């Protein structure tokens, strides 16, 4: 601002008034100062200004690079944060960069709160984090911790998917487990409960996996190898998430399995990639925009009132039927 003031021939105090859009300068002086600032490439340092007041007004977001649903959530976080007057700083987890390191990077950059997308950190560590700073978990329920949470009613979503497959005549329905991924335990329990409710407990099968395409590809290879040994394919597979479902589709279609004529596939998330495929993926939709809005609001409200008790937002899922689910092929008894 000193450089701008010197070149414009005014005081630094007047430059400050103009940059803060406060009264006290004529229109001619205001235009001259702004023109000089543009010529020399000056931009106000909002971060420094906020820190001088003891606030950064920045929300940190921890996410996983390859999780497409996390990208959908981030896209929803930005507008809600900006609406409430906050900036957003991202920190990714990945190979060799765990959640603890990603979170510490956000805190070291003076983020006032952290929004954790699909955390798999143990509950005790999340509770400790919640006592250090404002923290919100998205996609995972974390009861008895000082962390707010936003997630979908996982059991309801799985029930919708399983009822849909049952009504199509499917009886040999396999579930690819999501491992430690967010919501996986609830989805696994709901699958087992649905199989029992429909009288299919003898055919219940959970295949270990995770929330990656590789997990779906490996499951596809497993099922195809079993078929080659004379065992029948399942008629439907409920994948742990959309990425896993897409990997499964890749393995099956490359081997000549017709989806959904020979086998139906259902995912979970309704990430943006699920409807960009040549054959749209039947999946359980999580409302990423609403989840993002709740997460930001929870963080901001706790910043303004630190005495709030931990809160939980549970959103309704919705089954989206597309091209990967159809009537069951002819089959023997379950």
- Yes or no: say if 136 and 299 are a contact pair by the CB < 8 Å rule: yes
pLDDT score of 333 more than 50: no
Q: What tokens does 318 get?
A: 């919705």
- Yes or no: say if 133 and 154 are a contact pair by the CB < 8 Å rule: no
CA nearest to 274, candidates 326, 237, 323? 323
24 confidence band (pLDDT: 50, 70, 90): confident
| Cα distance between residue 240 and residue 176, in whole Å | 6
From first CA to last CA, the distance across the chain in angstroms is 77
| Cα distance between residue 244 and residue 239, in whole Å | 6
Residue found under tokens 């940190």: 60
pLDDT tens per residue across span 153-187: 999 999 999 999 999 999 999 999 999 888 999 99
334 confidence band (pLDDT: 50, 70, 90): very low
Residue found under tokens 């487990």: 177
Is the bond preceding residue 38 a cis peptide, omega within 30 degrees? no
332 confidence band (pLDDT: 50, 70, 90): very low
Strand 282-285 to 318-320 pairing: antiparallel
Give the contacts of 104 (CB within 8 A, at least 6 positions apart).
none
| Cα distance between residue 155 and residue 198, in whole Å | 15
For residues 19-31, give the mean pLDDT: 83
| Cα distance between residue 222 and residue 232, in whole Å | 12
Q: What tokens does 146 get?
A: 């000082």
* Better-predicted residue by pLDDT, 196 or 50: 196
- Bridge partners (DSSP) of residue 237 are 174, 265
Q: What tokens does 128 get?
A: 């400790």
pLDDT tens per residue across span 73-127: 999 999 999 999 999 999 999 888 999 999 999 999 999 999 999 999 999 999 9
pLDDT tens per residue across span 199-248: 999 999 999 999 999 999 999 999 999 999 999 999 999 999 999 999 99
- Yes or no: say if 148 and 311 are a contact pair by the CB < 8 Å rule: yes
- Bridge partners (DSSP) of residue 283 are 267, 320
The number of helix segments (H) and strand segments (E) in the chain equals 12, 12
| Cα distance between residue 296 and residue 276, in whole Å | 28
**According to the model, what pLDDT value does residue 299 have?**
97
For residues 18-26, give the mean pLDDT: 80
pLDDT tens per residue across span 314-325: 999 999 999 999
pLDDT tens per residue across span 29-78: 888 888 888 888 776 655 555 555 557 899 999 999 889 999 999 999 99
Altogether, the residues listed in the chain come to a count of 334
- Yes or no: say if 21 and 77 are a contact pair by the CB < 8 Å rule: no
- Yes or no: say if 280 and 309 are a contact pair by the CB < 8 Å rule: no
287 confidence band (pLDDT: 50, 70, 90): very high
Q: What are the DSSP calls for 172-215, one per residue?
A: -EEEE--TTSTTHHHHHHHHHHHHHHTT-GGG--EE---SSHHH
């Amino acid at each position: 601002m000193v450089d701008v003031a010197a070149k414009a021939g005014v005081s630094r105090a007047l430059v400050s008034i103009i940059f803060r859009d406060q009264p006290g300068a004529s229109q001619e002086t205001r235009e001259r100062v702004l023109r000089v600032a543009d010529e020399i490439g000056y931009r106000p340092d909002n971060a420094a200004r906020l820190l001088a007041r003891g606030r950064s007004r920045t929300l940190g977001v921890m996410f996983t690079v390859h999780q497409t649903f996390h990208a959908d959530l981030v896209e929803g976080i930005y507008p809600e944060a900006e609406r409430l007057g906050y900036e957003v700083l991202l920190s990714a987890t990945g190979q060799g960069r765990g959640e603890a390191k990603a979170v510490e990077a956000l805190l070291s950059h003076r983020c006032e709160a952290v929004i954790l997308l699909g955390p798999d950190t143990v509950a005790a560590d999340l509770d400790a984090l919640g006592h250090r700073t404002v923290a919100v978990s998205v996609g995972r329920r974390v009861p008895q911790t000082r962390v707010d949470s936003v997630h979908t009613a996982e059991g309801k979503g799985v029930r919708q998917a399983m009822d849909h497959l049952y009504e199509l005549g499917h009886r040999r329905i396999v579930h690819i487990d999501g491992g430690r991924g967010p919501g996986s335990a609830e989805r696994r329990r709901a699958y087992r409960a649905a199989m029992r409710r429909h009288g299919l407990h003898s055919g219940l099968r959970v295949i270990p996996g995770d929330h990656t395409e590789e997990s779906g590809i490996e499951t596809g290879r497993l099922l195809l190898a079993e078929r080659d040994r004379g065992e029948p394919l399942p008629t439907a597979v409920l994948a742990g998430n959309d990425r896993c479902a897409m990997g499964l589709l890749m393995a099956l279609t490359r081997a000549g399995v017709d989806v959904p004529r020979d086998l139906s596939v259902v995912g979970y998330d309704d990430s943006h990639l699920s409807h960009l495929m040549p054959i749209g993926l039947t999946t359980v939709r999580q409302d990423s925009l609403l989840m993002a809005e709740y997460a930001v609001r929870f963080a901001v409200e706790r910043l303004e009132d630190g005495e709030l008790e931990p809160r939980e937002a549970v959103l309704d899922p919705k089954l989206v039927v597309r091209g990967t689910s159809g009537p069951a092929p002819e089959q023997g008894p379950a």
